[in-house]
Structure 1
């Protein structure tokens, strides 16, 4: 049975269209706005997302760093307290188990944010590879998470928290900062491609925090947003999504995440396989449709001579740039910008071309 987030009743009472997603019941959009308006509110003003379905786990102890160095491809040895770092977690064959964020809370304590749909799988994988003096704790049910995104988000947050205390740099965070009297961890992160913050608090406090943010943002156009806008925003920003641009058969090199793989560090899970796959045949590209239509995932991509070169991984209509766009994994030989292609949708070829990513950048 799908779980309910702490704000479930609020979403229902306020016109949220509830759908099952990653084991939870979540709003895909709201009746009064819809995906396009919610999307544009983030790009132009501000949007607020309930992302309490995400998972949170903590590594703590003398060997916490050694543990995450072993299971993650990125290097955390020179990370400082207050930094956030993105990484992938690979299996022995170099495929992606999940992508995640790591928050360094202390010299011997790390918070990881994992995808809700992979939560149980990730936790089993992490526990399987624990070693040494370390404790591992799943805090997912105790922590609530809100994403406040868009150009007005800073002004909104400054109404409720000490402006001097807010994190200044991208991919940094501050702990124990009061937001409307709710103790929070606030990071300068997000999954929309716009300026913004992510706020973590105790699940029991999330109702108060959500309402306070909505009230503070009322005059600045703050809009509740659902999963639909979250997906169109991340696609415009060319941010990969697990299960689409990556999975346990796709390596970080193939999906454009080679920057997270640090071969110079000591051995980590998947390192040997990735050494053998450093020159992948596939690569992730951006696509702009020229003909009418929208390409969803798993659509064949062919050259003008009919040769198949890959498949789309995500696709949508971009509300901000007003074009149909997609991401795809294609044969690297045919991945040059402006390469003319066709996307096969319901046995019909739609003219398209390979373009530079991201589609949107603030």
Structure 2
């Protein structure tokens, strides 16, 4: 089992650790609910150093990434980032990613921890014929996420570079508690904040300074409930090698005006079921639970939890396309008992930022 550079710090804080994507990671420090509410109400701090990072450089870096990803990379100016996906040849998704343009011919791609080896092999194969160099830099980065309505103010106290007026998806270099880091105004919680790329041997000092400044340490349990309230997908759940992104609310990522790998298969793949958000009135919905309309099974949950903010069950599910309309009444089977559910708009809650 791999560990992040902050593993000793997590143990010192008494975190409950557990396996995730081949890493031993903190699941929670106090409780998932208290950590979740700390992010919604103040500022939370996550160790996400398990994520993978790839450098893509060269005179044809843009052309290569236009072909390898679904979003329009040509729109990225230096210092900007975008959410995107890596399509496969069958109309499914290899992974969902974040792409940062860090120079004229240089990009940094952040990939999911469970997919590092798969994504690396996929990109290397696609790069043949392009004048581009790839580097797996996953071991050379630690990554922190500082999220919440007080995230920017908390960070600002510890650095000289201006943070408040930066736009969502901006990325830039600066010093944080004396350490040279990359700031990115991105995140996975639905709240304002930054993700901080820092050298592994310097992340401990940054982590401790943020805790001393009032940030609450948060584990992967709260990260999951937060991303669900925000309507964000998790690869292996909402997105897989078999799921067509055009059958999800993330269809906006697919820029059909350009050529990309597997374009024909993706555009031709049908959508017998679509990904929707469900508000569940009773019980706690979980992945794999079945969705019904009357006596007909019409779908399955991909993720589910109890929302600490709404105090109700929330879930994402693939349901028959004819039932994906907002307001449709369905039922979710929870432990052999069916409870009312309704198709609702995502995100389930919206940040005030």
Partner Cα separation in structure 1 for residue 252 and residue 345 of structure 2: 18
Relative to structure 1, is the Cα distance of residues 156 and 22 closer, same or farther in structure 2, using a 3 angstrom cutoff? Answer: same
- For 1:261, which of 249, 254, 264 is the aligned residue? 254
List runs of 5+ in structure 2 lacking aligned partners: none
Aligned with 1:112: secondary structure?
strand
1:296 aligns with 2:294: no
Deviation at 1:281, TM superposition (A): 2.4
Partner Cα separation in structure 2 for residue 314 and residue 127 of structure 1: 31
8 Å contact kept, 1:312–1:329: yes
Could you tell me which residue of structure 2 aligns to residue 7 of structure 1? 6
Could you tell me which residue of structure 1 aligns to residue 49 of structure 2? 52
The correspondence of residues 26-45 of structure 1 with structure 2, limited to 5 A, is 26-30=25-29, 33-45=30-42
Aligned with 2:70: secondary structure?
coil
Could you tell me which residue of structure 1 aligns to residue 277 of structure 2? 286
Could you tell me which residue of structure 2 aligns to residue 313 of structure 1? 302
341-350 vs 147-156, which deviates more? 341-350
Partner Cα separation in structure 2 for residue 29 and residue 167 of structure 1: 32
The correspondence of residues 139-218 of structure 1 with structure 2, limited to 5 A, is 139-164=137-162, 168-175=166-173, 177-216=174-213, 218=214
Could you tell me which residue of structure 2 aligns to residue 17 of structure 1? 16
The correspondence of residues 52-71 of structure 1 with structure 2, limited to 5 A, is 52-71=49-68
List runs of 5+ in structure 1 lacking aligned partners: none
Deviation at 1:78, TM superposition (A): 2.7
Deviation at 1:35, TM superposition (A): 0.3
Q: Deviations over 1:82-113 (max 9, x none)?
A: 11011111110110100000000111000000
Divergent runs of 4+, >3 A: none
Deviation at 1:166, TM superposition (A): 6.1
Could you tell me which residue of structure 2 aligns to residue 275 of structure 1? 267
8 Å contact kept, 2:161–2:175: no
8 Å contact kept, 1:43–1:151: yes
Aligned with 1:235: secondary structure?
helix
Aligned with 2:155: secondary structure?
helix
Partner Cα separation in structure 2 for residue 69 and residue 166 of structure 1: 31
Partner Cα separation in structure 1 for residue 67 and residue 35 of structure 2: 40
Could you tell me which residue of structure 1 aligns to residue 216 of structure 2? 223
Deviation at 1:255, TM superposition (A): 2.4
Deviation at 1:165, TM superposition (A): 5.5
Could you tell me which residue of structure 2 aligns to residue 117 of structure 1? 114
Aligned with 1:200: secondary structure?
strand
- For 1:133, which of 113, 131, 141 is the aligned residue? 131
Relative to structure 1, is the Cα distance of residues 314 and 165 closer, same or farther in structure 2, using a 3 angstrom cutoff? Answer: closer
- Aligned Cα RMSD in Å? 1.2
Partner Cα separation in structure 1 for residue 122 and residue 161 of structure 2: 39
Aligned with 1:253: secondary structure?
helix
Deviation at 1:174, TM superposition (A): 1.0
Relative to structure 1, is the Cα distance of residues 256 and 358 closer, same or farther in structure 2, using a 3 angstrom cutoff? Answer: same
Partner Cα separation in structure 2 for residue 78 and residue 40 of structure 1: 35
Aligned residues: 350
Partner Cα separation in structure 2 for residue 192 and residue 109 of structure 1: 27
Aligned with 2:226: secondary structure?
helix
8 Å contact kept, 2:330–2:341: yes
Deviation at 1:256, TM superposition (A): 2.0
The correspondence of residues 315-330 of structure 1 with structure 2, limited to 5 A, is 315-330=304-319
Q: Deviations over 1:55-82 (max 9, x none)?
A: 0000011111111111111111131001
Deviation at 1:352, TM superposition (A): 1.6
Deviation at 1:283, TM superposition (A): 1.3
Deviation at 1:163, TM superposition (A): 4.6
8 Å contact kept, 1:167–1:188: no
